[in-house]
Structure 1
Amino acid sequence: MKRLLLVVLIMLSPSLYAAKETFDVSAADPEMNNAIKKAQETIGSFWKHYNKPGPNEKDFMIKVKIEDAGGVEHFWCGNIQLKDGAVYGDLWNYPEVVKSVKYGETVKIDPTAISDWMYYRDGKIVGGFTIRVLLKYLDEGERKRYENMLGPEE
């Protein structure tokens, strides 16, 4: 069975985006697949806020699926930029399976490969659908700590 290595963005402040904690989740996991589907269905909400952020909205990020001969991995990208009709972002996770990219590299984001999105509003995460699924892998103390960081899904 094909496996996805999903990197959860678990941070205490915007300076800690480079998550080192990873979870191996089956590509057939229904909860994760539903989270990815919801993120894809609601990406318009992300772009609406990205293009015209509210006074307390910042740190817009997209999670993107990247595949190469090594396998499949999902990366959070920050510093999102729109150039000539394309979307670019900097990889904010360290690759563990995929060898064709490196931490900090600017990549062109294929819109069909977007697996999640998030931003901060009033200090809370909006979006982050896959993060919410991955909370179950944390011990109770860590899970509660990160649940407190989550705001509304949209």
Structure 2
Amino acid sequence: MKHLINRRLSLRYHLMVLGMAAFLLGSCQHAGKETGWDAKKQMYFAKTDDPEMAEAIRQSRETVNQFLTALASGDTTAYNFGVKAAFPIPDGTNEHIWLTDIRANGDSIIGVIDNQPDVITAVKFGQQVAIHKDSITDWNYTKNGKLIGGYSIRLMRRRMSKEEQAEFDKQMSFTIE
């Protein structure tokens, strides 16, 4: 997958607190053998055939209307709205990039690229883009201090060691149930 007084703190602020938090900034699907966290690139790499990641994406897409309803609700206890979207790369796979400062217009989602892309050059960190809601591969927001959605975040956290999970949890402004 890039926030202060108005409670719409950007996802980037929370995710960049430590290198551990940067774990969430971006992810790529690829056919190579190297998977997991790449500290140098500050990205998580998943194989294109990762069944758990495919399930996280399926859940995100199945529940995206829950996200859109919360976004439109004006509920002040819900904040830090973000979506992760798939951007195609030349090898036929996708780079998944977080967008923040989200607003919806019909089936279009407008947001700001929230992490530095690794492969694609068509978009850059801080650029505003519009995507179709069908390209969303994850979504999340915080409500009453708890992470809502964030299916890929939950998966990546589950894959951390207990020590990494504890460090991650200390750095986040939300809890994961």
- Category of TM-score, reference length = shorter chain: 0.7 to 0.9
Structure 1 residue 135, shift from structure 2 partner: 1.6
Task: Name the aligned partner's letter for residue 85 of structure 2.
Answer: V
Task: Determine whether 1:144 maps to 2:159.
Answer: no
Task: Determine whether 1:45 maps to 2:66.
Answer: yes
Q: Which residue of 2 aligns with 1:29?
A: 50
Q: Which residue of 2 aligns with 1:125?
A: 147
Q: Which runs of 5+ in 1 are unaligned?
A: 1-6
Q: Distance in 2 between matches of 1:55 and 1:108?
A: 24
Secondary structure of the residue aligned to 2:138 is strand
Deviation larger for 103-112 or 29-38: 103-112
TM-score (norm 2): 0.70
Q: Distance in 2 between matches of 1:130 and 1:140?
A: 18
Structure 1 residue 147, shift from structure 2 partner: 4.9
Task: Determine whether 1:115 maps to 2:163.
Answer: no
Structure 1 residue 41, shift from structure 2 partner: 0.2
Structure 1 residue 94, shift from structure 2 partner: 0.9
Q: Distance in 2 between matches of 1:26 and 1:87?
A: 26
Q: Which residue of 2 aligns with 1:3?
A: none
The counterpart of 1:135, out of the listed 148, 157, 160, is 157
Secondary structure of the residue aligned to 2:126 is coil
Q: Distance in 1 between matches of 2:15 and 2:130?
A: 19
Q: Distance in 2 between matches of 1:124 and 1:42?
A: 17
Structure 1 stretches of 4+ with a deviation exceeding 3 A read: 16-20, 136-139, 145-152
Corresponding residue pairs, total: 142
Q: Which runs of 5+ in 2 are unaligned?
A: 3-8, 17-21, 26-41
Identity of aligned pairs, percent?
A: 25
